[in-house]
Amino acid sequence: MVAALLAFVAVGPLAAPVPASAEVEHAATYTVVPRVGMTVPILDGTSPRSPRRDHLVWPDTAQAECWGRYQSITFGGYTGNVWVRIRLDYGSIGWIPVVALQGDYKADLPASARC
């Protein structure tokens, strides 16, 4: 009995599978802004072929949760493979290619805010 209890404590209780990195929720959010004069697509996923969910028009902002490297996309004459995940007003998530946003290669999100 003691051995079983020690094994349980060492391993921990049974846990649900950890979600894929793109699904992990982040507590902090960061404001992102489209490039001046741009209308930016908010996509369902991190592929240029993903369905469009919505759009973000400059000077409106969105709250990004994290960033990551996924499929390359060309937008507004720029090509990149970094995307930010945003939380939409109605609770679901969307993805915006960073080449469409102001800021550095990760739209000024902290390096630690990886998806």
pLDDT at 91: 82
Sheet of 52-57, strands arranged across: 30-32, 62-75, 78-87, 93-97, 39-43, 52-57
pTM: 0.75
Angle at alpha carbon of residue 112, lines to 107 and 113, rounded to 5°: 55
Specify the CATH architecture of the domain 27-115: Roll (2.30)
Q: Could you report the per-residue pLDDT of 9-53, keeping only the tens digit for each? A: 344 333 333 344 445 555 789 999 999 999 999 999 999 999 999
pLDDT at 26: 58
Q: Could you report the per-residue pLDDT of 53-104, keeping only the tens digit for each? A: 999 999 999 999 999 999 999 999 999 999 999 998 888 899 999 999 999 9
- Domain ranges across the chain: 27-115
